[in-house]
Amino acid sequence: MSQAYSLKLVIPLSILSVSVIVTNTLVCLLVYKVKSMRNYTNGFVVSLAISDIVTGVAILIQYNAKLHEWSRATLNVLYAIVLFVGASNLCAVTYDRYLAILHPFSYAETIAKVFKIVVPVIWIFSVVVACIPLTWEGNTTILHTRIYIVFFLIICIALPYVLIVCANYKIFRLVRQCVRRERELSISSHASKADTKKKCTPRKISSEAKVARVFAVASFMFVLSYFPSLFWSAANAVGHKEVVPTLLLDFSPFCVVFGSLVNPVLYSFMKPDFRRALEKILSGKRAYLNSRRSQRSSMPSIGETYSTPIVPMKTKQTLVVNGVLCKGSDPTESNV
């Protein structure tokens, strides 16, 4: 049967898990509703958000449901799926930024082909790799499990992060070179037109670099959030679980759930298109509420009716003089 957890652990983790599910669902809905945000970069973001939603669901189930042996094995498969999907999506979106900054002219054509292949492959391969331990019925003591864990840590986690670090290094090196070149050209008063044509476009580079910085921070937070679990898995693979501090294991689920919760916050405050879309939605909602408030204030309260001011009008009257009708005469005026 499942392990009984204390309420001090269950309540905060349940609240955080629900927050993860809600915020990442809002990310998906935002990309779906706002047409301008339906691009390939945000396609990877949605894929990452879906993996975070699965993480929130897995933690919610683990700490609130009674699980049998096979249920726990299935839950471990879910964790393995979201771990590899998260690392792979961050690697894919870093490649997207790499193309956009280092190869801007071929970006649109290349990423259109890559996106249709990469996203399905990431999910299918993650599910296949995560289900492998089910073939030996979750026995963690046999050699197969240790080999699998080492393979998983190296191929599925370490290798993508090596690529992420290398790509981000090249991205920020190019950004620094372009900024330096722009400064030199702006300072020099004798820059030729040919040099001006060859210079980097600082606004475009700066915009792409901001997006790349968001995903660099997201990559760092991801590996930081899963570090306790990865450290425990590595120690278990080599047969030295005693080196893992108990405090690290206690903080492990909180690190995982915070890692899934931080991504929507990063997009909202650091990614320009998300920030603009949120501001547009909030400003539209504010304008709608203000219009409703003004309509309510202009309506009469109970017991009141609209009143129309009476403006005195000068009326023409008919006067009879000596039996003759005088039209248009005013009896108040003198005929003299």
Alpha helix (H) residue ranges in the chain: 7-33, 40-64, 69-102, 104-131, 143-151, 159-187, 193-198, 202-225, 227-237, 246-270, 272-298
Q: Which residues pair with 321 in a beta bridge?
A: 324
The answer to whether the CB of 260 falls within 8 A of the CB of 56 is yes
Confidence band (pLDDT; 50, 70, 90) for 308? very low
How many folded domains does the chain comprise? 1
Cβ neighbours of 35 (radius 10 Å): 7
Q: Name, of 16-25, 239-248, 276-285, the range with top average pLDDT.
A: 16-25
328 domain residue, yes or no: no
Alpha carbon of residue 109 to chain centroid: 25
Element at 318 (helix H, strand E): strand 317-321
What radius of gyration, in Å, describes the C-alpha atoms of the chain? 34
Tell me the three state secondary structure of residue 329. Answer: strand
Tell me the three state secondary structure of residue 325. Answer: strand
pLDDT of 68 = 67
pLDDT of 335 = 42
316 domain residue, yes or no: no
Q: Name, of 21-25, 80-84, 203-207, the range with top average pLDDT.
A: 21-25
What are 89-137's pLDDT values in tens digits? 989 988 998 888 888 888 889 999 999 999 999 999 999 988 888 777 6
Q: How far apart are CA 214 and CA 272, in angstroms?
A: 10
57 domain residue, yes or no: yes
The domain containing residue 143 runs over which residues?
7-185+202-288
330 domain residue, yes or no: no
Does 161 have pLDDT greater than 90?
Answer: no
77 domain residue, yes or no: yes
Does 332 have pLDDT greater than 50?
Answer: no
306 domain residue, yes or no: no
Q: How far apart are CA 121 and CA 127, in angstroms?
A: 10
Q: How far apart are CA 246 and CA 223, in angstroms?
A: 20
Tokens 């879910």: give the residue.
78
Q: Exposed/middle/buried for 207, CB within 10 Å: 0-12, 13-18, 19+?
A: middle
Tell me the three state secondary structure of residue 306. Answer: coil
144 domain residue, yes or no: yes
Average pLDDT over residues 190-195: 48
331 domain residue, yes or no: no
Query: CA triplet 288, 294, 299: central angle to 5 degrees?
Result: 130
Report in angstroms the alpha-carbon separations of 294 from 16, 288, 290, 308: 38, 10, 6, 21
Q: How far apart are CA 81 and CA 77, in angstroms?
A: 6
Q: How far apart are CA 269 and CA 214, in angstroms?
A: 10
- The CATH code of the domain that includes 22 is 1.20.1070.10
pTM of the model: 0.74
What are 36-46's pLDDT values in tens digits? 888 998 999 99
pLDDT of 137 = 63
Does 82 have pLDDT greater than 70?
Answer: yes
